[in-house]
Structure formats: structure tokens, C-alpha cells
Amino acid sequence: MLVLDGKIAAASVKEDLLSQTDALLKAGKPAPHLAAILVGNNGASETYVASKVKNCEETGFQSSLVRLDENVEEAVLLAAIEKLNNDPGVDGILVQLPLPKHISEQKVIEAINPAKDVDGFHPSNIGKLVQGLPTFIPATPYGILLMLEHFKIDTKGKHAVVIGRSNIVGRPMSILLSSNIAQGNCTVTLCHSHTHNLKEICLQADILVAALGKPEFVLPEMVKEGAVVVDVGITRVTDPTAKKGFRIKGDVQYHSVAPKCSAITPVPGGVGLMTIAGLLKNTMLAYRNNRDN
Ligand code: GUN
């Protein structure tokens, strides 16, 4: 059983980006610049954004963080996005989700200039993805593709089962795995909360992607011997014995499922690290598209 170690695969992506940034700086050009907006102080979002900023530093990118109060008016957030849209020194913009309930996520996503939408959530970018046109691939599915590429996991003709149909992970992942791309060409089944016979469908998966956000949902009796299992879950589960008072759990019961797999991503240390790698690659792509002429 091969552990698909996100640290190793992400390090290789970041090494490549750092050498690209070094070359830009040596040529007297600016580094790519990622701007993040964080609304409120959700603990998990704080951690993710801090990690994105730290990873920017590690690859020589410039980063900036705009922090807005939990109660900020939607119009103020939209104005902050517009300012970044109009700043020629900013290549990529991300607004960390989820947002407080009084703010429309859809409005926010659509306010970001699609050319700076390094999360790949804007409808025009998703439309391009569906049509197989060059665009920003949403960071988590992109990270998974990079992981499969790094560990040379063959996907062609395989049956991939994706559990979860979110706009951030499940749906774009299902589209990418079915696309005619290097880590695609799968036959894909997309499962969700209304799926009948989920266990039987999962048992047919050569590649199983769990992206439903329910800790330890996937059990060994749902996994075919020799399957490749990709665990996208990152849920904080209360545990008084843990230093921080919680533990991070994936959507797969790792210890019982891993022995059946040919390859599996751990949590933490798997897909989460690759998400950031995908985001950084998108930021470099935005830079190349927009101002590296
Ligand atoms: N919240 C959970 N995943 C993501 C992501 O990939 N991007 C943003 N902006 N927010 C998220």
C-alpha cells in the first residue's frame, strides 16, 4: 500500500514554483502576488489562510491579507474585491469560504475578476472547465490531479467514484476525472446524499474520492481491494485529550481502509497540502496570463 504523501508531492510543485519566481526576480520582474480576504475569525479558515500566506512566502510570492469583521456589510466586501480587481499589482484573489450567512457567496464569487479568480469558482471559469478550455482549476481538484500525477497513478479507463457534489470539490473533480486530460479519462459516478446503494457503487470504484465532509464515513466494507482512495475531508472533531481540544479527521476511516488500498491519501498530510499547491500554481498562471508579457 502506497501512502500518497502530500508533503512530498507539494514540495515538488513548490520547488518548481520557487525556481520560476527566482528566474522572474533575476530578470527584474516582480513576483506573483496573491491577495486573500478573510471575513470573521472562524478557526479553521484562519488556519487555512495562514497556511496559504506561509506557502506564498516559501515560493517567493508576494501575499496580502485583507481582514474584515464578521459583521461586515456585503457592500464593503464587494468594494474590497473591486479594489483588488483594479490593482495591477495583484495577480490572484481568493475570498476564504464559508462566509457569514448575511453575505451572498454567489455574489462574492461573481464579483471577482475571472482573470484573477485563482480559486476557479467564477461561473465563467467553471464553464470553461466543463468545456475543456484552459482555465483555473479549483484548487482542491487541481491538487488531487497533481498528486495523482506525482505518484504516477494511472486513471485512464478506470471507474472513479466521487462522493459529494460541492462546487468546490466534488462536482469539478467529477468533471476533471471524466475529461480527456492526463489524469482523467475515467468513467465517473458522482454520488451524493440522495444516492441509492452507495456502498455497492463505492465497491465498484477503482478510484474513490471522498469529499462529503463527514468524518470517517468511508469504511472498509465500501472499498474494493486494490482501490486508490483520495480523502478530501478535513473535519475538526472535539477531543479533550488532544492539545488543541480537537483532532482533524478525514472522510475515510484510514486505519481500517488503508490495508485494502493500493494507494491512499492520509489526513492530515494529504490532499490539504496539495490544495495549496494548486492555488499557488493558479497564481503563477494568473501572473503569466496577466502581466508577464
Ligand atoms: N473553503 C474551503 N475550501 C476552500 C477553497 O478552496 N477556497 C476558498 N476560497 N475557500 C475554501
Nearest to 189 by CA among 161, 170, 168, 216: 161
Q: Are residues 165 and 261 in the same domain?
A: yes
Are 99 and 201 members of one domain?
no
Residues 106 and 171 occupy one common structural domain: no
Report pTM. 0.97
Q: Indicate if 154 and 73 belong to the same structural domain.
A: no
In a domain, 128, yes or no: no
* CATH assignment of the domain containing 260: 3.40.50.720
Active-site residue, selected from the candidate residues 20, 96, 183, 253: 96
Q: Is residue 54 part of a domain?
A: yes
16 is catalytic: no
> What is the residue with the minimal CA distance to atom 1 of ligand 1?
97
Q: How far apart are CA 275 and CA 201, in angstroms?
A: 27
The mean pLDDT of the chain is 97
pLDDT at 292 over 80: no
100 bridge partner residues: none
Residue 176 and residue 210 share a domain: yes
Based on the fold, state whether residues 160 and 66 are members of the same structural domain: no
The domain of 145 spans 139-272
Cis omega before residue 98 (within 30°)? yes
Distance CA 87, CA 81 (A): 10
Q: Specify whether 42 is located in the same domain as 91.
A: yes
Per-residue exposure over 107-136, b if at least 16 CB sit within 10 Å of its own CB, e if not: ebbbbbbbbbbbbbbbeebbebbeeeeebb
Tally of residues, the chain: 293
Cell of 30: 516582480
Give the Å distance between the CA of 202 and the centre of ligand 1: 26
Helices 170-178 and 123-130 pack at an angle, to 10 degrees, of 30
Confidence of residue 260 (pLDDT cuts 50, 70, 90): very high
**Within a domain: 134:** no
User: Do 185 and 236 belong together in one domain?
Assistant: yes
The per-residue pLDDT for range 181-223, each reduced to its tens digit, is: 999 999 999 999 999 999 999 999 999 999 999 999 999 999 9
User: In terms of domains, do 263 and 148 share one?
Assistant: yes
Q: What is the mean pLDDT of residues 85-96?
A: 98
Specify whether the CB–CB gap between 237 and 192 falls below 8 A: no
Residue 293 has pLDDT above 70, yes or no: no
Of all protein residues, the one whose alpha carbon is nearest to atom 2 of ligand 1 is 97
Residue 125 pLDDT more than 80? Answer: yes
Q: How far apart are CA 39 and CA 20, in angstroms?
A: 31
Tens-digit pLDDT profile for residues 15-54 = 999 999 999 999 999 999 999 999 999 999 999 999 999 9
Known catalytic residue at 119: yes
Convert the pLDDT of each residue in 264-280 to its tens digit: 999 999 999 999 999 99
In 3D space, the residue among 243, 191, 240, 238 whose CA is nearest the CA of residue 217 turns out to be 191
- Angle made by CA atoms 93, 98, 100, in degrees to the nearest 5: 110
Going from the Cα of 249 to the center of ligand 1, the distance in angstroms, rounded, reads 18
Catalytic residue, from 14, 20, 52, 281: name it.
52
**Is 288 within a domain?**
no
pLDDT band at 291 (very low <50, low <70, confident <90, very high): confident
Q: How far apart are CA 51 and CA 27, in angstroms?
A: 28
The number of folded domains in the chain is 2
